[in-house]
Amino acid sequence: MSVVDMTSRTDEGDGRETEQARGSELVAELYERYHAEVFRLALRYGGGSTAWAEDVTQDVFLKVARLKTSLADPDDLSGWFYRVTTRRCLNRLRHEAFARTVLGRLVFGEPEDARTPERQLVAKNDLERAFLAVGELPAKERAAFFMRYLDGKSQNEIAEILGHSKGYVSKLLQRACQRLERQGWRVDHG
């Protein structure tokens, strides 16, 4: 092997190492900036369990590490972190709720016909269909819907987080509810 070949391979390796170092620095900066915000949001969803919130926070920042080169504007990712954290929390809660339901039926010995595999399958399918219906909403409508109906945020708060007017947020929520109701889901506006 010639000296030129070795130099070109070393240069390629240095380029990749430099890119990895920059990516690691970005992840560290984002962690420093958004860790507390992500943790607090996860803590609310997790009912105050710090272990639960730490697990979710770790999952969110693992996602950041995987996506570090494709993040659009690393200077303003507050909304992105809010959406990713909320999605991760909701997914985890959905899985936990289903597990509790099935385990609860087995532990507390409900009537035999109440814990049939058919009923468990129907309940699981209903839950999956509901989350799929919300998941199919356009991104802005889905984010506004989750913030309003799951986080209990006001339209003003949602407008501030998403960077839109209160009127636009109202339209997003209205469209989201209409889409869900057309699919047969009742949305409680209370």
Please tell me the predicted confidence (pLDDT) of residue 6: 35
Average pLDDT value for the chain: 76
Q: What is the pTM of this model?
A: 0.46
Burial class (CB in 10 A: 0-12, 13-18, 19+), 86: buried
- Mean pLDDT value of segment 88-117: 60
Q: Give buried/exposed letters for 140-165 (b at 16+ CB in 10 A, else e).
A: bbbbbbbbbbebebebeebbebbebe
Is the pLDDT score of 12 beyond 70?
no
Selection from 74, 58, 80, 81 nearest residue 22 by Cα: 74
pLDDT at 65: 85
Is the per-residue pLDDT at 103 higher than 60? no
Domain boundaries, the chain: 1-110, 116-190
Dist CA 143 CA 66 (whole Å) = 22
Write out pLDDT tens, residues 128-176. 777 788 888 888 888 888 888 777 788 998 998 888 999 999 999 999 9
pLDDT at 167: 95
Greater pLDDT, 99 or 33? 33
The CA–CA distances, whole Å, from 23 to 63, 138, 159 equal 13, 30, 31
CATH level 3 topology of 116-190: Arc Repressor Mutant, subunit A (1.10.10)
What is the model's pLDDT at position 4? 35
For residue 140 the two structure tokens come to 């802005």
> Residue 107: pLDDT band by 50, 70, 90 thresholds?
very low
Task: Supply the CATH classification number for the domain 1-110.
Answer: 1.10.1740.10
Closest CA to 27 of 61, 3, 1, 57: 61
DSSP string over 95-112: HHHHHHHHHHHHHHT--G
